[in-house]
A and B are shown apart, each in its own frame.
Chain A
């Protein structure tokens, strides 16, 4: 079974402070991990995927198989980062291209 856990429903930080959105997963095989973001009144969109190993809008995420984590990080939060963030997992060894999502973390960046 695939499971994604995002322990924080709401994360509030000040502008310029570091951000870390936590994501842990449970999957017996080799997973692909993603972060999706939904800004206010916009569609859910892909932020980054672990196989790309890229930084998008200053965000990075490293897959840690030992800790089964894929935390999203940004060194200096900006006001425009305020949004809902979802971590998602695709099981490479089963389930096709189906994604399992976490419950999401609302990030609020305060001035």
Chain B
């Protein structure tokens, strides 16, 4: 596609429920990243996929968070048993190997 697409754009969920966030990167971009944007916290790195290499999961805050990337394209970020502190904007970005990032518009997650 022309840009990085994320869905849903907004998600309200009850505490304890699982959520799935989707990212469709730019075609041909080998790298895909997930970040979390919270007020006053800046952009917090979550996970990074590069080609067929094992993902860098060093930023995932707990084992409730996981992500996968199927066929080197679409990625899904899953948060299990959501907590109120998970409320944030989840941003996806993609890049050609060493290039600058192109960001999606994000998914605003609200846990009530």
Interface residues of A (CB under 8 A from B): 6, 9, 34, 36, 43-46, 49, 86, 88, 95-104
Interface residues of B (CB under 8 A from A): 31, 33, 35, 40-43, 45, 48, 50, 56, 91, 93, 95, 97-101, 103-106
> Residue B103 contacts which of A6, A45, A97, A103 (CB distance < 8 angstroms)?
A45
Known: A97-B48, A101-B35. 11 other contacts (CB 8 A): A36-B101, A43-B103, A86-B43, A96-B31, A96-B56, A98-B48, A98-B56, A99-B101, A101-B42, A103-B40, A103-B41
Taking a contact as CB atoms under 8 Å apart, the answer to whether A49 and B40 are in contact is: no
Cβ of B64 to closest chain A Cβ, rounded Å: 22
Taking a contact as CB atoms under 8 Å apart, the answer to whether A44 and B100 are in contact is: no
Given A96-B48, A98-B56, residue A34 in contact with residue B40 (CB < 8 A): no
Taking a contact as CB atoms under 8 Å apart, the answer to whether B42 and A97 are in contact is: no
9 pairs of A and B residues whose beta carbons are closest in the complex: A103-B42, A101-B43, A44-B103, A46-B100, A43-B103, A98-B48, A43-B105, A104-B42, A101-B42
Complex A-B: 17 CB contacts under 8 Å: A36-B101, A44-B43, A44-B91, A86-B42, A88-B43, A95-B56, A96-B31, A96-B48, A96-B56, A97-B31, A97-B50, A97-B95, A97-B98, A98-B45, A98-B48, A98-B56, A99-B101
Chain B residues with CB below 8 A from A98, complex form: 33, 45, 48, 56
Cβ of A72 to closest chain B Cβ, rounded Å: 15
